Amino acid sequence: MTHTRSIPSADSAATFLSLFAAFLIIVLACWAYFPGFSGPQLLDDRANLAGVDAAALGADAAIEMVFGNKSGPLGRPISMATFVGESLIWGPGPATGKAVNMALHAANTLLVYLFVFMILRDFSCSAPRAAAFAATMLWCWSPLQLSTVLYHVQRMTLLCSFFMLLTMVFAVRWRACFERGTRPRYVWGLATACTALLALFSKENAATLILIVPGLLALYPATAGSERGTTTAVAFSRIFFLLSAVVTSVLVVQWSWVVAGYQVRDYTVMERALSQPRVIFDYAQQFFSPQTWRMGLVQDDFKLSDGIFSPPTTLLSMLFFVGWIALGLFYRASTLGKQLLMCAVIFLLGHAVESTVLALEPYFEHRNYFPSVGLALAAGFVVSACLKLAPAIKVPLLVWLVIYGGSLLIETGAQAMIWSKSELIILHDVNGHPESPRANQAMALLLARSHDLDLALEYSDKAYPNPVGNPSLDGFVYAMALSCVSGQPLIDRDASMLKRFGGLSDRAAREAMQLIISGVYDSRCDRSSVLALVDRLQALAELTPLNSQLVPLLSTVAVLENALERYDGALWYTEKALSMAPNDVQLLLMNLHFCVAVQGGEVCSDTMRKLQLLQQSGVLSREQSETLALYTLGD
Amino acid sequence: MHIERYDYKVRLPLGVLAVVLVILAYMPAISGPWLLDDPPNLLDNRAIQQFQFMQFDDLRDVAASGRAGPLGRPISMSSFVWQRDDTGLLDPFRVKAFNLFLHLLIGVIVGYLARQIFSVWGFSEGKAKTAALLVASLWCAAPLHVSTVMYAVQRMSQLSTLGVLAGLTIYVHFRIEWLYRKPRLQHLVQMLLWIGLCFYFGLYSKENTLVLGPLLLVVEACVFGGVIAGSRVRALDSAVRWLLVLYLCIPALLYVLEPTWLTSSYAQRDFDLQDRVSVQLPLLWKYLQWTLLPDLRPLVFLQDGQWALAGNSRVFWFAGTAWLFAIGGALVFRCRPLIFGLSFFLVAHSLESSVFALEVAYEHRNYLPSAGLFIGAVGTLFHFGHQYRRPQAVAVFLGSLIAVSILMLFLRAQIWSSAEDIYQYANDHAPESARAEYLYAAALLDSSGVTDLGADGRLLRQGRMLEARRRLGLLAMEDKNDFAALVLLIRFDSTVIPDLKARDVWESMLIDALSVRSLQAEDYAALSHLVDCLTAGTCVMSDRGRSALEQKLEDMTQRPVFVGGLKAKLAREDSEGTLRTALIYQELAKLEPQNPAVHARLIEIYSDQGERGKALVAMQYLLRSDKSGRFLAPMVQALE
């Protein structure tokens, strides 16, 4: 009697301790992250979240903001809704957003604990609570997560991971109920589908669930002697392989679409594909043994592999992952094999969208936020296996693990301090990545804002190495932008050195051009230098056979001409651009504006008519219609 | 049952009484002063001063703020932030009270360790407990330890000792199990993990914890003798002995195989390897006496006078013979406790009292070794008491020793209630100590303790100043290289008796000293004090003297960043001071790009000059070179 009573009390004590441990993990993480809440807006924050002020927007605009985001094919409305919602409740600003991100990170930590615990328990691992605690601590405190949590726009990743974790938890619950044949399986099944959809509309990475969930369910340990469990595992294995084949086929069929994406990249699909095993291996290394000096948003100096032996780590990392999967497949019937494969399913398939062949940038830390659950699970399995072999080491091992986790948290805390100041982020990036164009551009801009053009140009030259006698337009534009920002004239740069009409293909250069344009309006730029640049560009453009790739450049230069009140030139550029993109609404509007300015309203009736036709066919956005209305009213 | 009753009726009350008496004896010193290394390490520590509980990273900042030792002693440093007062300043009472708490905690561990060891040596349970209680009481009441417990910064030694003794206790605890049954692998791993934790804790408190490994060998050799599961494993026993011999031969091997590694660290010292080694043998014998005999006379805290042992061959041979007799006697009588005590004492001293280029003598170096020595000594007395059937006599002797120790402890704690008393006592009992002479003179100059504002008080203050000047003058005359004394004399004469021409003599002696003396840490501190004093106007030097000083600074090659800082301070006095200061630090940044302090200073200079761009670039280099992130918090503040 006494014995039967003591079991639930011991269990409830263990549950209480687990919850308390999870609470401690979260509280300490919040404490470490806290300084970073006051950090600045970063890279994509500006593009995605500019103008998210729900109170000022009004209902229609807020709804358009939720459903009008273009950063992914599905528009990520759920994530956008949280941005609008938080600004409505707590007001706009990065600090609010980062605090909300932290809250999501805390929720995800709880879900990771729950998921790892369920998996370990169902695999009949030793000390599942202790092992889940260690795995969760490692996952939550790893400095690798910082660039997701303290990067406002990565709410998309956090929210997507939240729903993905929920999906996995529900799927595991469904599997357990299904095996027992109990009724709640319908609820869990429905919940799995709903959360998967929510994840997909938070960020498209959730598409990987289509493989992760079947993989997880196929590897989930069946109850000993349960025929239903074995049948389910086999069925899901087949579903997994079938879906894998479908995905691969789609990829093969759409290969030209994949390759086409690389037109805007300066590397090939092969280089990216060869590099990704190295990148993923590096992610794993950064998760377990972080080198924080090179962590951050700027990773554009990552040297891509151009052959299987170049560098040799390409082959080694490939062999590592192949070995991991091969070992798992070889022992697939045993618990070890299933555990190896389950970690691979979460970690490697979690990377399947962003770290395979799609034409995305090669390296970003936030891509690990969800996949690293696979690494944490692996750590949980290892801890559990150790405790099975030697139960006596439980307490000292946990103390050592807390020390290890504590060292990770200390690193995270230091990184959070760096992330609290935009200047420190830039300095940290340029130290960690001295060859990175993006880091050097940011440093140059920072120095220009401090009115030190000479120093700024030193960094700008590192960002845009200048081939002798053939400077690039990008480099020149950036230098001029620095001159405008610093309020100091550009002395030793001569626009006549430019030999080719082309450039502004990278975002930094386009942003630099925008700085010049606003500098011209504010009279912060040296007007004669800008005029020299514009004259040289026009001379080069007239000599260059124009093609559709030059359209963005032509339209940007047109805006610059407009800023200089040289409407003839602006009109010339828009006409050239329209000859290659005749239905581009923005170009048409620009052309109309310059045409009216140069030639008067009557002459521009063709453009007006064309725009009106496009408006009737619903192509124009609200703002574009409003702009057009200005000319119509005038007419 | 009988033993348990005896525990509750006799030993426990006696233990509590010993604890209470030790606490009471320490009370006078607990509100004592900050000393020597306390201000630079603790009081002037920015990270401790600015620690905010809300800021998680401040914990790392404090942990990384240590300057001592190759690892920075982060655990020790972190332990201090919890003893600040409401204004954020460290409270000496709280710091010393915590040190006392640690002392008693270590005392309990010493007692537990002793009891375990005594039981392995075959003491009956009751005798083992009594002997352990005596060991713990003797160790806690040793007046020698006042200079560790009441010297705030020596928390580092205490925490390291705690780590080592905890590691040894864990080893003994597991090992006792294995005397009777074979160890299982999981228990072996469990023990290693626990010992590893203790080692980690101790090592990051102070690097002396490295002796834990050799001390485990001593414990294995002298306590367990390679016995596992009831039989002696000869291979283990031999391996342990050979490893111990190998460990003790490491300095000799280093000297033969890699002599420059040993000798290079002596380049910045005013003594060489031979000097230090020749002193250590007699000094270790002295340490042994200081530990075992509660005699206050040699416990002067400032032990630099022990250099007097260097040239004394008679003392050397006497100490050598004494050691030979002690070790030989222990071996001849096969007295395991004595062998253990002496081996533990010597091995625990092997880092700080052997070949490394550390200062000659410190009392706190005995904090750990004394634990093993007391276990060995008490064990030996009990051993012989049992052999000659005089157990009561031993107990009475040891009880009396504890009583005398507590009395001496109380007396020493009285001395340690004020800095002036400490230095006066040191000066009275160690006239050969230049440091004691200097510090006492410096203490006399501080008349803040004289509260009488009347004629008597004025007379007393004047008398103290004259006495201080006389002592400093003698020190400067007798020991011409005493840099600190010369600096203090220049300051004294500049402020108190500016018309006296003696200042020129001190100036020329100081310049001479700069030429002939290999500057030590305290000389650099004095030099810094002189420069601060000159820039503040409280020290006056002739133009010739000042330019000679500046020239000497230019010629110095040691510690370029420190010297560069002094040059920059002096340069700031000039009309083009800011420019020259910037130039000096720009040169230093090229010379030592990995030194974060240089870049930190450059940031200040550029910020003062309004050159934000250059300040940002300096900040970039600072962030790069500052591996431990010591400057991260100031950088964040600067950007705010």
Q: For residue A307, list its beta bridge partners.
A: A310
Chain A 605-634, residues with CB within 8 Å of chain B CB atoms: none
Per residue in B110-166, pLDDT tens? 999 999 999 999 988 888 999 999 999 999 999 999 999 999 999 999 999 999 999
Contact A428, A48 (CB under 8 A): no
Most confident of A14-28, A139-153, A580-594, B350-364: A139-153
Name the closest residue on chain B to residue A39, using Cα atoms.
B636
Q: For residue B90, list its beta bridge partners.
A: B84
Name the closest residue on chain B to residue A421, using Cα atoms.
B636
**Rounded Cα gap, residues A13 and A20, in angstroms:** 10
Cβ contact (<8 Å) for B616 and A423?
yes
Residue B200 predicted with pLDDT over 60:
yes
**Beta carbons within 10 angstroms of residue A110's beta carbon:** 17
Can you read off the two tokens belonging to residue A560?
């610059």
B479 pLDDT band (50/70/90 cuts)? low
**Rounded Cα gap, residues B374 and B349, in angstroms:** 15
**Shortest CA gap A312–chain B (Å):** 29
Task: Give the mean pLDDT of chain B.
Answer: 88
Cβ contact (<8 Å) for B620 and A427?
yes
Q: How confident is the model over A180-199, as a mean pLDDT?
A: 88
CA Rg, chain B, in Å? 27
pLDDT given for residue A468 in this prediction: 62
pLDDT given for residue B21 in this prediction: 94
Contact B161, B368 (CB under 8 A): yes
Q: In terms of C-beta density within 10 A (0-12 exposed, 13-18 middle, 19 or more buried), how is residue A109 classed?
A: buried
Name the closest residue on chain A to residue B194, using Cα atoms.
A396
**Beta carbons within 10 angstroms of residue B236's beta carbon:** 16
Nearest to B186 among A393, A447, A450 (CB): A393
pLDDT given for residue A9 in this prediction: 65
Nearest to B57 among A35, A393, A430 (CB): A35
A433 pLDDT band (50/70/90 cuts)? very high
pLDDT given for residue A369 in this prediction: 96
pLDDT given for residue A602 in this prediction: 67
**Beta carbons within 10 angstroms of residue A353's beta carbon:** 16
**Rounded Cα gap, residues A104 and B597, in angstroms:** 40
Q: What are phi and psi of B84, to 5 degrees?
A: -90, 155
Chain B 39-78, residues with CB within 8 Å of chain A CB atoms: 54-57, 59-60
Name the closest residue on chain A to residue B64, using Cα atoms.
A410
A1 pLDDT band (50/70/90 cuts)? very low
Q: What are phi and psi of A356, to 5 degrees?
A: -125, -110
Per residue in B243-276, pLDDT tens? 999 998 888 888 888 888 888 888 777 788 888 8
Contact B152, B416 (CB under 8 A): no
Task: Report which of A179, A185, A182, A189 is spatially closest to residue A220, judged by C-alpha positions.
Answer: A179
Report helix angle A585-599 to A551-563, nearest 10: 40
Q: What are phi and psi of B290, to 5 degrees?
A: -60, -35
DSSP A535: H
Cβ contact (<8 Å) for B55 and A451?
no
Cβ contact (<8 Å) for B197 and A28?
no
Nearest to A414 among B60, B189, B190 (CB): B60
Residue ranges of the alpha helices (H) in B496-542?
502-516, 521-536
Task: Report which of B282, B246, B261 is spatially closest to residue B357, judged by C-alpha positions.
Answer: B261
- CA angle (A324 as vertex; A319, A330 as ends), nearest 5: 115
Cβ contact (<8 Å) for B189 and A391?
no
Task: Report which of B212, B238, B214 is spatially closest to residue B225, judged by C-alpha positions.
Answer: B238
